[in-house]
Structure 1
Amino acid sequence: MSATPFPAAPVLQLNNVALAVADLDHMIGWYQNVLGLRVEERGHFDPVDADFAMLTGEGFRLELVSRKGGEHRPADRSAPPQHLHALGWKAIVLESSDLASTTATLVAHGVEIVWAEQRLTPTLASTMVRDPEGNLINIFGKLA
């Protein structure tokens, strides 16, 4: 790739990750009750006529946004590794200091498990789940 005559954008930092959802209240409840996120703010974006909720976790923010009356396209439910054939964002990726306990909690909540404590590298494993609308959440943890 050749250099452009324009400089790169100024230094940026991540504000949040946005997830479009069909049922805002249900999804807020799920992310609060299952993943322990907290509602930081709720409101309405007039330019796109959409309601939103900003949720916070440990070191990250997740924006849930919902627009009534539109056609909602379901999440891609391809199983790994085929999920990588559809272009675009793949998953919210989180990290746990105790993956076994996190996995047990997710199971107790009846969360849809894609895989549990799957070894990825010699030192890293993950538990991959789906939220109620089918979006992937991958939780990494160090192997003991």
Structure 2
Amino acid sequence: MTQAGLEFDNVAVSVTDLDRSLEWYERVLGFQVFYRTFSTAVGAELVVIQRGGARIELLLKDGARRNPEADVVPGPHLLTTGVKAIVFRTDDLEGITEYLESCDVTFDWKVRTLSADGLRSTMIRDPDGVLINVLSYPTAT
């Protein structure tokens, strides 16, 4: 047996308000609903949203509350294991950052250099505090 038939599908994110999160991911990042159901296995409403080949699974379980670590500062948050951010990439970080400013999102930083070789990013948060990182890789010389 091999992993030949295995494909990445999505990243799952638990939310506190499904309608608010759906509106935000559609308006800010251009995602659209791909699949919607109720998962009896976990007792949660489940919506898979898609943009191009990228998918995010939004889950709402009754009684869900905001993660108390959602306001953690990027950097120290790496001292605990687990998924830390949903990451996108762009060749136009300044343009995307300007667009995100027009969307009235919460920023952790704008157009920050992350490494000596020129990796840069803009970091925002979704309505529940999930980090969304937009990377711009250095161009090869």
TM-score range, shorter chain: 0.7 to 0.9
TM-score by length of 1: 0.85
Stretches of 4+ aligned residues off by more than 6 angstroms: none
Listed as ranges, the matches of 1:5-20 within 5 Å are: 10-11=3-4, 12-20=6-14
TM-score by length of 2: 0.87
Q: Is the 8 A contact 2:15 2:66 kept in 1?
A: no
Q: CA deviation at 1:143?
A: 5.2
**Structure 2 residue corresponding to 1:63, chosen from 57, 61, 78:** 57
User: What is residue 125 of structure 1 aligned with on the other side?
Assistant: 120
User: What is residue 32 of structure 1 aligned with on the other side?
Assistant: 26
Partner of 2:29: helix, strand, or coil? coil
Query: Which has more radius of gyration?
Result: 1
Q: Percent identity among equivalent residues?
A: 36
CA distances 1:21-40 after superposition (whole Å, capped 9, x unpaired) = 11011100000001111111
CA distances 1:105-124 after superposition (whole Å, capped 9, x unpaired) = 11111111101111123232
Listed as ranges, the matches of 1:99-110 within 5 Å are: 99-110=93-104
User: What is residue 114 of structure 1 aligned with on the other side?
Assistant: 108
**Structure 2 residue corresponding to 1:46, chosen from 40, 43, 58:** 40
How many Å separate the matches in 2 of 1:21 and 1:119?
30
Q: CA deviation at 1:46?
A: 1.5
Segments of 5+ residues of structure 2 without an aligned counterpart are: none
How many Å separate the matches in 2 of 1:46 and 1:104?
41
How many Å separate the matches in 2 of 1:29 and 1:57?
14
Q: CA deviation at 1:97?
A: 2.6
Q: Give the aligned length.
A: 136
Q: Is the 8 A contact 2:10 2:55 kept in 1?
A: yes
Segments of 5+ residues of structure 1 without an aligned counterpart are: 1-6
User: What is residue 65 of structure 2 aligned with on the other side?
Assistant: 72
User: What is residue 87 of structure 2 aligned with on the other side?
Assistant: 93
**Structure 2 residue corresponding to 1:21, chosen from 6, 15, 26:** 15
CA RMSD of aligned residues (A): 1.8
